[in-house]
Structure 1
Amino acid sequence: MPTIIYIDHEGNERQIEAKNGESVMETAIKNSVPGIDADCGGACACATCHVYVDEAFMDKVGQPEDMEQSMLDFAENVQANSRLSCQITVSDDLDGLRVTTPESQH
């Protein structure tokens, strides 16, 4: 099982084993990760699961699709490495993925 590392805006880390095929958001919700609310339940209809992806994993997670990019317009403090965690599917390639939640979501 791949491990996803969730980091809050203060630098606190939580390492969680994730199931392949689930989203980074689903894993966060199942494990009560603070800062990822997922108000829409993962339908890419809000931006409450906004995360910053570690630069080392940007190529592996890829760029946001058009719908996700539109939703990111509603997020605060969007950066080049911003993604919605509901749109990142866990796979073995993402073992060790580090995502940081924005301060605005705490």
Structure 2
Amino acid sequence: MKLTRWDKSYKPDVEELKNILRSEGMTPYIWMDEPGTYYGNHSHAFDEVRWVVSGKMRYGVNNEEFVLGPGDRLDLPAGTIHWARVEGDEPVVYLCASK
């Protein structure tokens, strides 16, 4: 697992993030979850990226919890068990990508 925090002085741009993911050989798509959405423990058969555009999402991975905000990126290797929950009162919009 790799967590990368947004360190730019501007808000993330969806097209910029998509282009970065494509340059890494990934196929991105945009997703939105409403407040209260929860995904219980699960894993994927492929490497997976979650890159938050707006809102916040709390993740649990390997007995750690952390919140991703705008621009934060989470790379999960195939088979990594994790859960996710929308944090706060606003929807979260994020990019999903895999190889």
Q: TM-score range by the shorter chain?
A: 0.3 to 0.5
Please report the TM-score for the alignment, with normalisation by the length of structure 1: 0.34
Structure with max Cα Rg: 2
Please report the TM-score for the alignment, with normalisation by the length of structure 2: 0.36
Q: Which has the higher helix share?
A: 1
Q: Which has the higher strand share?
A: 2
